[in-house]
Each structure stands twice: as C-alpha cells, then as structure tokens.
Structure 1
Amino acid sequence: MVLILLVVGLGLALLIWLWKGPVQNTVTAMKRNGSSTVEAYGVILFITSAMGISIYLIMSIL
C-alpha cells in the first residue's frame, strides 16, 4: 500500500514538473514563432500520446 502511494505521489510530482517546465516552455516558444495556442497544445498532446503508446507497447511485449 505504501509503495502504491509512493508511486502515485511520484507520478503526480513528475506530471506537475512536466507541465510547469518543458510543456510551458515549448508552448511559449511555439507562440512566439507564430503558432496558435491550440496548435501548440495539440502538438504537445500528440507527442505525449505517442510516447505513452510506445511505452505501453514496449511494456506489453516485455
């Protein structure tokens, strides 16, 4: 039980760090180069979804 809570807490901390750091910086850079906010977040969503699916497929094979 403690291990599950630790993993959930670590996952939330990583998600918050990911949102505050690389995601916000990427969106800001894309907006400065002329992209819309929706387009920037769409690209971020596509990239993270592709990474998640890739990790899931690799883990299901192993």
Structure 2
Amino acid sequence: MVLFNSSGPLVQPDMALDNFLESFWTSKMELAESANPDSKPHVLPLARVKKVMREDEDVR
C-alpha cells in the first residue's frame, strides 16, 4: 500500500507500518511544536459576561 501527498509517497512499499507510524507522528509533533500559536489571547467583553451571569439563575 502506498499513500501519496503533494510531495510524493508517504509510505514506501518496503517500509514497515510501525516505522511509518513512528516517523509520521514524530514529524507531526515537531510541526505542531514549531508552529507559532496565536499570540493575542481572546478577550470577552466583561460587561456582556456580567449581564449574562446576572440573568442566569444557576449562577447565583
């Protein structure tokens, strides 16, 4: 079985599945760790949050 991507085959016919999986997930983890996450945290409007909390009876 040969799987393909845009740069060529992912698995060579003589490659063991365990070797392929190890190299595949190692490369994916390296890619995820080197990615630049969104540096700006998402900020919710405080007044809106307070309004919703006041209206919700379960919050009290």
TM-score by length of 1: 0.41
| Larger RCO: 1 or 2 (CA < 8 Å, sep 6+) | 1
Q: Which one has the bigger helix percentage?
A: 1
